[in-house]
Amino acid sequence: MIEKLKKYQFLFEELVKRDFKTKYKRTILGMVWSVLSPLLTLLVMRLVFTNFFGATIEHYTTYLFCGNLVFSYFSEATNQGMTSLISNAGIFTKVNVPKYLFLFSKNVQTLINFGLTLLAFFVFCVLDNITFTWKFICLLYPMFCLLLFNIGVGLILSGLYVFFRDIEYLWSVFTMLLMYISAVFYSIDTYSPMIQNVFLLNPIYLFIRYFRKITIEATIPTVWFHLLMLADVVVVLALGCWMYKKNNTKFLYYV
Amino acid sequence: MIVYVGLILILALYGVKFCGNGTFAGYLSPKSSNAIKGIFILLIFVSHFSYYVETFTAPLDLAYVQLRAMLGQGVVVYFLFSSGYGVMLSAATKGEEYMKGFPRKRILATLLAYDLAQVLFLLMELGRGRSFSLSHIILTFLSWETFGDGIDNWYIFIILSLYLISWLALRGRKADKPAAAVVTAASFAMIAVLACVKPRHWFNTLLCYSLGMWYYLYQEKIDEYMKHNAHYWKTAVVLGLLFVFFHKFWYLRPVYLTTMLLFALGVVVITMKVQVNNRFLIYCGKHIQGLFLLHRIPMTILGDLEFMRGQPHLWFISSVVLTFALEYLFNKSLAYMRGAPLTNGDKSRIFCAEAAGTEQAEEEQPESATPQQDDSIEMPIQAEAETSISAKAADVSPAPAVEPGENTVLTVHDVSIRYLLGDFKDIGLKEYVMRQVKGDYHITEFWADHHISFSLERGDMLGIIGTNGAGKSTLLKAISGIMEPTGGYVERKGNISALLELASGFDGDLTVRENAYLRGAMLGYTRKFMDEKYPEIIEFAELQDFQDRPFKQLSSGMMSRLAFAVASLVHPDILILDEVLSVGDGAFRKKSEDKMREIMGGGTTTILVSHSVEQVREMCNKVLWIEKGNQIGFGDAETLCGLYQQFLNGEISLHEARRILGTEGEMDRPEDRFVTKTVSDRSVWVARLKRYAYLPLCFLALLGTAGAFHMMYGLPFYSSITVPLMIGWSLLFTSIAAILPGIAKKIYLGLLGGVFAVLPIVHEVYTNMFRKFFSFADMAFAGDGFAFLDSSYLVFNRPVLLLSMLFLAAMVGCILLTRKFKLSKTVLWAGAVGVLAGAVLIAGVCLKSFRGDGRVVWDMNEDPTTIYKSFTDRKASLSLLGLYHYTFRDIQLALFPSGEALSSDELAEIDAYAATRGHEDNELTGALAGKNLILVQLEAIDTWMLEDYMPALKAVKEQSIVFANHYTPAYITAGTFNTEFMVNTGLMPAATGTSTGVYVQNAYPSSLAHLFADRGYTANSFHGSEANVYNRGAVHEVWGYKYHSGNDMGLENFTMDSQLTTAYKDMTPSSPFFTFIITYSGHGPYGDTNPTYLAHADAAWAQAKRTDGNYVYAVAHAMETDQFVADLMRRLEADGLLENTAVVFYADHYNYYMMNDALQMDIKGVDSMNLLQHTDFFVYSKDLEPRTVEKYTSSLDVLPTLANLFDLDADYAHLAGDDAFSSGGGYVIFNDNTWLGTDRDVSAEIMRRRRINTLLLKGNYWREKH
| Cα B1128–chain centre separation | 61
Q: Could you tell me the pLDDT band of residue B199, with boundaries at 50, 70 and 90?
A: low
Q: Residue A81: pLDDT band by 50, 70, 90 thresholds?
A: very high
- Whether residue B683 is predicted with pLDDT greater than 80 in this model: the reply is no
- H helices of B311-423, where? 312-337, 344-351, 353-364, 370-385
Residues 243-262 of B with CB under 8 A from A: 252, 254
* A95/B719 touch (CB, cutoff 8 Å), yes or no: no
Least confident of A32-46, B82-96, B1039-1053: B82-96
List C-alpha distances in Å: B35 to B11, B31, B40, B285: 11, 6, 9, 6
Reference B226, options B525, B364, B23, B401; nearest CA is B23
Q: Do A223 and B507 touch (CB under 8 A)?
A: no
Q: Which of B621, B345, B596, B640 is nearest to B465 (CA)?
A: B640
Angle at B196 between CA B190 and CA B200, to 5 degrees: 95
pLDDT of residue B309: 67
pLDDT category at B342 given cuts 50, 70, 90 is very low
Least confident range of A84-98, B589-603, B911-925, B933-947: B589-603
Q: Residue A234: what pLDDT?
A: 94
| Contact flag A10-B527 (C-beta cutoff 8 Å) | yes
pLDDT for residue B366: 35
CA torsion angle B612 B615 B617 B622 (round to 10)? -90
Give the pLDDT confidence score for residue B90 in this predicted structure.
82
Q: So what's the pLDDT on residue B62?
A: 63
Using 50, 70 and 90 to split pLDDT, how confident is the model at B584? Answer: low
Which pLDDT band holds residue A122 (cuts at 50, 70, 90)? very high
Q: Which residues of B255-281 are buried (b: 16+ CB within 10 A; e: fewer)?
A: bbbbbbbbbbbbbbbebbbbbbebeeb
The complex scores an ipTM of 0.84
A3-17, A231-245, B846-860 — most confident range? A231-245
Of B420, B429, B480, the CB nearest to A253: B420
Residue B465 pLDDT more than 50? yes
CB B1206 within 8 A of CB B820: no
Q: Nearest CA to B1094 among B1034, B1053, B1127, B1125?
A: B1053
Whose CA is closest to B1055, among B1085, B1076, B1028, B1033?
B1085
* pLDDT level of residue B788 (50, 70, 90 thresholds): low
Give the count of beta carbons closer than 10 Å to the beta carbon of residue B288.
Answer: 23
The pLDDT of A193-200, averaged and rounded, is 85
CB contact under 8 A, B425 and A90: no
Cβ atoms < 10 Å from Cβ of A193? 9
pLDDT (mean) for A152-160: 93
Neighbours of B486 (CB within 10 A): 22
d(CA B107, CA B348): 14
Which amino acid appears at position B88 of this protein? M
Decide: B731 and B742 in contact? Cβ < 8 Å: no
Task: Decide if pLDDT at B386 tops 60.
Answer: no
Segment holding B288, helix H or strand E: helix B288-294
pLDDT at B377: 31
Radius of gyration of the CA atoms of chain A, in A? 19
Residue A106 pLDDT = 92
In this prediction, residue B427 carries a pLDDT of: 67
CA angle A41, A47, A50 (to 5 degrees): 115
Q: How far apart are CA B320 and CA B314, in angstroms?
A: 10
Distance, in Å, from the CA atom of B1266 to the CA atom of B1262, rounded to the nearest integer, reads: 6
Could you read off the pLDDT of B82-131 as tens digits, one per residue?
888 888 888 887 777 777 777 777 788 888 888 888 888 888 877 776 76
Neighbours of B1149 (CB within 10 A): 23
Cβ atoms within 10 A of the Cβ of B615, count?
Answer: 16
Query: Given an 8 Å threshold on Cβ–Cβ distance, is A96 in contact with B498?
Result: yes
Highest mean pLDDT among A7-16, A63-72, B483-492: A63-72
d(C-alpha B979, C-alpha B960), whole Å: 21
B520 chain-A contacts, CB cut-off 8 A = 10
SS3 B1191: strand
Please report the pLDDT score of residue B942 as a whole number: 93
Report, as an integer, the average pLDDT of A113-121. 91
B964 burial type by CB count under 10 A (0-12 exposed, 13-18 middle, 19+ buried): middle
Tell me what the mean pLDDT of segment B677-698 comes to.
75
Say what the pLDDT of residue B118 is: 83
Give the pairing type, strands B1235-1236 and B1073-1078: unpaired
Across the range B901-927, mean pLDDT stands at: 86
Q: Is the pLDDT of residue B1228 over 80?
A: yes
- Parallel/antiparallel/unpaired status of strands B1177-1180 and B1018-1023: unpaired
Give buried/exposed letters for B337-375 (b at 16+ CB in 10 A, else e): eeeeebeeebbbbbbbbbbbbbbbbeeeeeeeeebeeee
Confidence of residue B348 (pLDDT cuts 50, 70, 90): very low
Cα–Cα dist A83/A157, whole Å? 8
What is the pLDDT, as a whole number, of residue B975? 80
Q: How does pLDDT run across B994-1025, given as a tens digit for each residue?
A: 555 677 778 888 899 999 999 999 999 999 88
Per-residue confidence band for B958, with pLDDT thresholds at 50, 70 and 90: very high
User: Whole-model pTM?
Assistant: 0.51
Q: Do B720 and A193 touch (CB under 8 A)?
A: yes
Calculate mean pLDDT across residues A57-61. Answer: 86
Q: What value does the mean pLDDT of chain B take?
A: 79
Q: B518 at the A interface (CB within 8 A)?
A: yes
Partner A, chain B 523-562, Cβ-Cβ below 8 Å: 523-527, 530
Average pLDDT over residues A93-107: 87
User: Is pLDDT of B744 > 70?
Assistant: yes
Question: Bigger pLDDT: B1177 or B381?
Answer: B1177
Name the range with the highest mean pLDDT among B125-139, B378-392, B1045-1059: B1045-1059
What does the pLDDT average to over B581-594?
72
- Looking at residue B117, its pLDDT comes to 83
Q: What is the pLDDT of residues B164-185, one digit of tens each?
A: 888 888 877 777 888 888 888 8
Q: Where are the alpha helices (DSSP H) in B896-1007?
A: 904-916, 943-949, 951-958, 975-985, 998-1001
More confidently predicted of B466 and A55: B466
* The pLDDT of residue B1119 is above 90: yes
Reading phi first (left if > 0) and then psi (alpha if -120 to 50, else beta), residue B387 is in alpha
Optimal mutation site among A1, A5, A14, A234, interface B, most CBs of chain B within 10 A: A14
CA dist., res. A41 & res. A29, Å (int)? 17
Interface subset of A 2-31, CB within 8 angstroms of B:
7, 10-11, 13-15, 17-18, 21-22, 25
Distance from CA of B1266 to the nearest CA of A (A): 47
Summarize the confidence of residues B233-246 as an average pLDDT: 83
Task: Please confirm whether the linkage preceding B341 is cis (ω < 30° from 0).
Answer: no
Three-state SS at B456: strand
CA distance B562 to chain A (A): 16
CA-to-CA distance for B746 and A41, rounded, in angstroms?
A: 59
Chain segment B1177-1196, per-residue pLDDT in tens = 999 999 888 999 999 999 99
**Is residue B679's pLDDT more than 80?**
no
Distance from CA of A207 to the nearest CA of B (A): 21
Q: Which residue has the higher pLDDT, B869 or B793?
A: B869
CB pairs under 8 A between A and B: 78
Q: Name the band, by pLDDT with cuts 50, 70 and 90, for residue B1130.
A: very high
| pLDDT score, position B664 | 60
In this predicted model, what pLDDT tens digit does every residue of B53-80 receive, in sequence order?
A: 655 556 666 666 666 666 666 777 788 8
Q: B477 CB near a chain A CB, below 8 Å?
A: yes
Write out chain A residues lying below 8 Å of B498, CB-based.
Answer: 94-96
C-alpha distances in Å from residue B72, one per residue of B66, B251, B260, B1017: 10, 11, 9, 57
What pLDDT score was predicted for residue A20? Answer: 82
**What pLDDT score was predicted for residue B171?**
76
Q: What value, to the nearest 5°, has the Cα angle with vertex B1190 and ends B1186 and B1195?
A: 95
Does the pLDDT at position B993 exceed 80? Answer: no
Number of helices (H) and strands (E), helices first, in chain A? 12, 0
Residue-wise pLDDT for B498-552, tens only, equals 766 655 667 777 888 888 888 888 877 888 888 888 888 888 888 888 888 888 7
- pLDDT for B29 beyond 70: yes
Instruction: Write the single-letter amino acid at B118.
Output: Q
Burial class for B167, CB neighbours closer than 10 Å (0-12, 13-18, 19+): middle
Number of Cβ within a 10 Å radius of residue B1204: 25
How would residue B374 be classed by pLDDT, with cut points 50, 70 and 90? very low
Task: Label the pairing between strands B1141-1147 and B932-938.
Answer: parallel
Q: Do B981 and B1001 meet the contact criterion of CB atoms below 8 Å apart?
A: no
Residue numbers in A near B504 (CB within 8 A):
90, 94
CA B1199 – CA B988 distance, rounded (Å): 12
Yes or no: say if B654 and B647 are a contact pair by the CB < 8 Å rule.
yes
